């Protein structure tokens, strides 16, 4: 339990704290600070590189490359640390003294809507009714589509069953597995008869019953159980 003298504090991310002022200014204040830091740190790196080259040109014969490089790294590290400390202070100054909003400031989008328009309210109500009716119609159409789809699926299943039944009958009666196979068998048998007829005609066979040597296609008899 908290005592009356104690004050409860709540920490929030800086992005949240700066959201309101960012909306007003069009940019985040700390983003401005980050951009400035990036520019300075880039130029600082370039200056240190130039300093390293001049140091090597002037003292390259007196000191080893490792010592000159160690000196350059030390200088760069100390300057960057100092720059970070400076920008930490600059960030605090920027968001607390320059780019900040008083707690009493309210943006226009957040102002209370004190005016009431009966015409606008009626228009909104009519739009709600319109969209509700459209949704109802869509649901009705969806239900009908589902029913018709079920009927089509039932017809497809019946066709598949009929096809299977026909194929089974063809196999049991004629020994073939499909109508196409039956037609092919009949076609080949007809060609055989035509070839035989041609041969017999060329041999001057005058017997009118010569086709009797080609027995007709017989149905298979089912064995009684």
The ranges assigned to domains in the chain are: 14-115
Please count the other Cβ atoms lying within 10 Å of the Cβ belonging to residue 91.
17
Mean pLDDT of successive 10-residue stretches along the chain, which has 225 residues: 48 59 75 88 89 83 82 89 90 78 64 65 87 90 89 88 83 77 81 79 58 50 49
Q: What is the DSSP code string of 122-158?
A: HHHHHHHHHHHHHHHHHHHHHHHHHHHHHHHHHHHHH
Whole-angstrom distance, CA of residue 82 vs CA of residue 85:
5
Q: Of 125, 218, 117, which is closest to residue 173 (Cα–Cα)?
A: 218
Helices (H), the chain: 14-17, 19-25, 29-59, 65-93, 118-174, 179-202
pLDDT given for residue 32 in this prediction:
82
Whole-angstrom distance, CA of residue 93 vs CA of residue 19:
17
pLDDT given for residue 10 in this prediction:
47
Instruction: Compute, in degrees rounded to 10, the torsion defined by CA atoms 192, 193, 194, 198.
Output: 100
Q: Which residues contact 45 (CB under 8 A, 6 or more apart)?
A: 76
Cα end-to-end distance, the chain, whole Å: 94
pLDDT given for residue 53 in this prediction:
86
pLDDT given for residue 199 in this prediction:
75
Whole-angstrom distance, CA of residue 178 vs CA of residue 169:
9
pLDDT given for residue 21 in this prediction:
73
pLDDT given for residue 112 in this prediction:
59
């Amino acid at each position: 339990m908290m005592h009356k003298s104690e004050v409860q504090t709540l920490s929030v991310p800086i992005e949240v704290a700066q959201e309101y002022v960012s909306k007003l200014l069009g940019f985040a204040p700390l983003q401005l600070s980050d951009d400035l830091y990036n520019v300075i740190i880039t130029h600082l790196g370039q200056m240190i590189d130039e300093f390293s080259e001049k140091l090597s040109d002037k003292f390259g014969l007196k000191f080893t490359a490792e010592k000159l490089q160690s000196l350059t790294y030390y200088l760069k590290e100390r300057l960057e640390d100092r720059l970070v400390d400076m920008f930490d202070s600059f960030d605090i100054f920027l968001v607390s003294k320059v780019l900040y909003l008083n707690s009493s400031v309210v943006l226009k989008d957040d102002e209370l809507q004190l005016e009431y328009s009966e015409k606008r309210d009626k228009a909104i109500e009519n739009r709600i009714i319109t969209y509700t009716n459209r949704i109802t119609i869509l649901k009705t159409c969806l239900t009908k589509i589902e029913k018709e789809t079920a009927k089509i699926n039932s017809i497809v299943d019946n066709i598949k069953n009929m096809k299977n039944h026909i194929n089974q009958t063809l196999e049991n009666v004629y020994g073939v597995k499909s109508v196409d196979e039956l037609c092919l068998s009949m076609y080949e048998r007809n060609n055989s008869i035509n070839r035989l007829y041609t041969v017999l005609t060329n041999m001057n066979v005058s017997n009118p019953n010569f086709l009797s040597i080609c027995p007709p296609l017989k149905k298979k008899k089912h064995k009684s159980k």
